[in-house]
Structure 1
Amino acid sequence: MRKPRIDLNCDMGESYGAWQMGQDAQVLRHVTSANIACGMHAGDPLTMQRTVAAAVAQGVAIGAHPSLPDLQGFGRRVMAITANEAYALTLYQIGALSAFAHAAASRLHHVKPHGALYNMAARDTTLAQAIAQAVRDADAALILVGLAGSALPAAGAALGLKVGHEAFADRRYEADTSLTPRGEKDAVIHDIDVAIAQALSIVTQANVTTRDGKILSLQADTICVHGDRADAAMFAERLRAALDQAGIGVRTLDGAGA
């Protein structure tokens, strides 16, 4: 029987100017993929440069984390955008991070939209297709990461891209397998033990318990660790240890599909 395996990714590089967020250096010791902010919801050129260099030093796969242009709202506010705007925003941000990766003698490995853009593309087929097209036009070898079972990985696969179906250890799920909106008080799982138990259920049982107690099937290739948690480093360390102890191979996402 094949040993279960999973990629462990983290959203990072979200500091901006003198404002510092996250524990990126510590988290990078425990994950296999880094989704690096590209300046629209967080991050700036120096932060992008430093985060790419740190990921390269740790042997962690580099991914672009494009967002809606929303620094004040951290990319979590819904905006009405056209498909062409989604395409241009995504292509622009991939290009920026790709330049830093190239300068560090590395390359981009994947693309994962952030926040509201991610959730919009999970539901909206037109936006999902525009984002997938931007990824393919930037580099057809990139892996497109999106919410497991949603419109975004489906759009990527339809264009011949490799895709990664993503699940979350520390977010609650609704009955339709969407993430519980952050405006709800129980949207985020703060208890590390509860979050780890959810991750293990997803990886070993291919299911998740929803906010209202239903058990849903959920197939995932990668699990997200949110870098903006106050305890992000501890969470990443304990989650990685739990996966290792359970005999789950933690390895870089290689994508499904084409």
Structure 2
Amino acid sequence: MRTGLDLNCDMGESFGIYRYGADQEMMPLITSANIACGFHGGDARVMRETAALARAYGVRVGAHIGLPDREGFGRRFMQMSPNEVYEISLYQLGALEAFLRVEGMTMAHVKLHGALYMMAAGDKELSDAFAEAVHAFNPLLSVYTLPGCETVTSASRLGLNVVYEYFADRPYTSGKVKMFGWTPEEIGSPTEIAARVAVMLEDPAYADIGTICVHSDTNGAPAIMGAIRDRVTQEAL
């Protein structure tokens, strides 16, 4: 595997009687877990169980911060003021921190979810508010986000460490990720995805990518991440 390359997964998004994602199967395959903090998904029990599972496998944990939109799974764009983004970011960081503290773990990073991820990426005021919340909470946290977006600028301005992210289970067109409205055919098979990741890692345009994401709720997510691990490891030999 390329030195320092991180494999991350959005997980812990089940709540109540609703179950999402192959968290149990994904945890042994990843190095970082982005745990939902109760807004777009997740609840107190799921946060506790996912944090404990991450500790059992030695996986780093980050807060996966989303919009207050369980009905839309945080994928619906909402009107949010900078103050609201600051407040919901700080709220969710604190929620996950409580469970990590009980497990004797330290939060490593933070990553926005779904629509909020894309909203902040294109809006300076929202990205500033998010970065300010992270910095106020813990300036040592890394921020996972897309290269070249407003979130990078805002986080960097405050001295936060930024980790550039590539979405393995989302299609890219002209270098831009298609986050919503994709089809399984556009994503491809686990073998095709792993081959695409290998090509990406050889492309100088992606030289600064530090983490690769596969969502826990993508169909066949464990097979996809397993294929990526195998292919990247082979490329590094």
TM-score band (shorter)? over 0.9
Q: Which residue of 2 aligns with 1:73?
A: 72
SS of the aligned residue for 2:170 comes to coil
* Aligned-residue offset at 1:243: 1.1
Q: Deviations over 1:41-76 (max 9, x none)?
A: 111000000000000110100000000111011100
Q: Which residue of 2 aligns with 1:167?
A: 166
Q: Equivalent residue for 1:102?
A: 101
- Alignment match, 1:213: none
Where does 1:149-168 land on structure 2 (aligned, <5 Å)? 149-168=148-167
Name 2:89's counterpart in structure 1. Answer: 90
Structure 1 ranges of 4+ moved more than 4 A: 184-188
- Residues in 2 aligned to 1:72 and 1:140: alpha-carbon distance in whole angstroms: 32
Percent identity among equivalent residues? 40
Change in Cα spacing, 1:38 to 1:219, as seen in structure 2 (3 Å) is same
1:118 aligned partner:
117
Could you give the per-residue CA deviations for residues 211-232 of structure 1, whole angstroms, max 9, x where no partner exists? Answer: xxxxxx5631111011111211
- TM-score w.r.t. the length of structure 1 is 0.86
Between the aligned partners of 1:241 and 1:185, the Cα distance in structure 2 is: 25
Partner of 1:211: none
Partner secondary structure for residue 172 of structure 2? coil
Give the residue type in structure 2 aligned to 1:8.
L
Equivalent positions of 1:171-250 (< 5 A) are 171-175=170-174, 177-185=175-183, 189-207=187-205, 219-247=208-236
By how many angstroms is 1:201 displaced? Answer: 1.9
Q: Any stretches of 5+ residues in structure 2 without a counterpart?
A: none
Stretches of structure 1 lacking an aligned partner (at least 5 in a row): 208-216, 249-258
The answer to whether the Cα contact below 8 Å between 2:15 and 2:41 also exists between their aligned partners in 1 is yes
Distance 1:138 1:71, change over 3 A: same
Shift of 1:7: 0.6
TM-score when scaled to structure 2? 0.94
User: Deviation at 1:181?
Assistant: 4.6
Alignment pair present for 1:137 and 2:110: no
CA offset at residue 185 of structure 1? Answer: 4.2
Indicate if the aligned counterparts of 2:170 and 2:182 stay in contact, CA closer than 8 A: no
Q: Count matched residues.
A: 236
Counterpart mapping for 1:17-96 below 5 A = 17-96=16-95
Is contact 2:145–2:151 with CA below 8 Å preserved after alignment? yes
